[in-house]
A = this chain, B = another copy of it.
Amino acid sequence: MTELPEPSPGPGQVLLKMRAASLNYRDLMVVKGLYNPNQPLPLIPFSDGVGEVMAVGAGVTRVKTGDRVAGIFMQKWLAGELTKVKAQSALGGAIDGILVEYVVLHEDGVVHVPEHLSDEEAAALPCAAVTAWNALITQGGLKAGDTVLVQGTGGVSLFALQFAQLVGARVIATSSSDQKLERVCQLGASDGINYKQTPNWDKQVRDLTDGIGVDHIVEVGGAGTLAKSLGAIRLGGHISLIGVLSGTATEVNIIPILMQNVRVQGIYVGSREMFEAMNRAIAQHQLRPVIERVFPFQEAREALQYMDKGSHFGKICIRF
């Protein structure tokens, strides 16, 4: 922990006093040095946070002092296609993040957050929620009557569960814990599958869908679960490839992709335009993110260790 001078906003910039942050698996990898072997140091970690605008620079029109805003994951991905320049503007990786008391961002890089959310809930949105929104809504075009499979109970999976329900889709969830499956069913999943007790969960997914398979899978396991996902998806279904929790490389049989007309879509968070569309839906439905636990700022290390255990249900947050 270091003392840094309080920064001041230049033209087009805003100064934020951070109130809350949330952790993503990526932050754990960054801190462990596994995310980018060539990461220049020092680096202020963490991408997701919400703060209050304390001052604005010349020409700022999008926000004003006193507003509560979140930083967007890639500071330059405002809308449209992802480009290299945009990709190289991710907080807490390509550039300094938000685990610091005062942060200066460009006004284009922040969004207002829904009023009904607590600071911690709002801080949960930038990476995990936008990723789930992009996967299911922007890219997936999910609609009422569709069925979605979500894996585990991490942040992205629970947001995917919530968004799928917002648009009228049915959700099947997997977990290694019956207790967690009970909770996802309370959150609205129609069915839970314990993948420890049912290693061939792809077959059970088919049984639950009249032998057809699901329309959409939010694949967070990565290489370790992709083969099973290919067995659980319907002809012409979509797999959003998001995470690498269970491995980054594996022997994949590509025949099912081919013969089943499957779409595998890599999802790397999303744009500010998606964030804002998502916020409208969250506000309209007074939806609340699932927060597992809140650590004080001084215990950011403990928060990361807690995430590393992998037994959480929802988002782990930091209170400044």
A-side residues, CB < 8 A to B, are 10-12, 78-84, 87, 137, 141, 143-146, 163, 166-168, 170, 212, 222-223, 226, 235-236, 241-244, 248-268, 271, 273, 277-285
A255, B223: Cα distance in complex, Å? 9
Q: B168 to A143, Cβ gap below 8 A?
A: no
A151 to chain B, nearest CB (A): 14
Q: Knowing A82-B261, A83-B235, A236-B81 touch, does A251 contact B254 (C-beta < 8 A)?
A: no
A269 to chain B, nearest CB (A): 9
Give 10 CB contacts A-B under 8 Å: A80-B271, A81-B235, A83-B235, A84-B235, A137-B143, A137-B144, A141-B141, A146-B280, A249-B252, A251-B251
Task: Across the interface, name the chain B residue whose C-beta is closest to A11.
Answer: B11
A236, B268: Cα distance in complex, Å? 10
Q: A284 to B12, Cβ gap below 8 A?
A: no
Q: A79 to B78, Cβ gap below 8 A?
A: yes
Interface of chain A, helix or strand or loop or mixed? mixed
B236, B248, B258: the one contacting A241 at CB < 8 Å is B258
B137, B141, B266: the one contacting A262 at CB < 8 Å is B266
Q: B244 to A258, Cβ gap below 8 A?
A: yes
Further pairs besides A145-B277, A226-B254, A249-B255: 18, Cβ < 8 Å: A78-B80, A80-B273, A87-B235, A143-B167, A144-B284, A145-B283, A168-B168, A168-B281, A223-B254, A244-B255, A251-B251, A252-B252, A257-B264, A258-B268, A259-B268, A260-B268, A263-B264, A264-B265
Q: A168 to B284, Cβ gap below 8 A?
A: yes
Task: Tell me which residues across on chain B come within 8 A of A163, comparing CB atoms.
Answer: 144
Task: Tell me which residues across on chain B come within 8 A of A223, comparing CB atoms.
Answer: 252, 254
Task: Tell me which residues across on chain B come within 8 A of A87, comparing CB atoms.
Answer: 235
**Top 10 closest pairs, chain A to chain B, by CB:** A79-B80, A145-B281, A145-B280, A144-B281, A144-B166, A166-B168, A257-B266, A264-B264, A249-B253, A79-B79
A301 to chain B, nearest CB (A): 26
A95 to chain B, nearest CB (A): 14
Q: Knowing A87-B235, A145-B278 touch, does A222 contact B254 (C-beta < 8 A)?
A: yes
Task: Across the interface, name the chain B residue whose C-beta is closest to A274.
Answer: B80
Task: Tell me which residues across on chain B come within 8 A of A12, comparing CB atoms.
Answer: 11-12
Q: B254 to A244, Cβ gap below 8 A?
A: yes
Q: B263 to A263, Cβ gap below 8 A?
A: yes
Task: Tell me which residues across on chain B come within 8 A of A170, comparing CB atoms.
Answer: 284
A313, B182: Cα distance in complex, Å? 41
Task: Tell me which residues across on chain B come within 8 A of A244, comparing CB atoms.
Answer: 254-255, 258
Task: Across the interface, name the chain B residue whose C-beta is closest to A168.
Answer: B166
Task: Tell me which residues across on chain B come within 8 A of A256, comparing CB atoms.
Answer: 266
Q: Knowing A10-B11, A166-B168, A168-B284 touch, does A267 contact B277 (C-beta < 8 A)?
A: no
Q: B271 to A266, Cβ gap below 8 A?
A: no
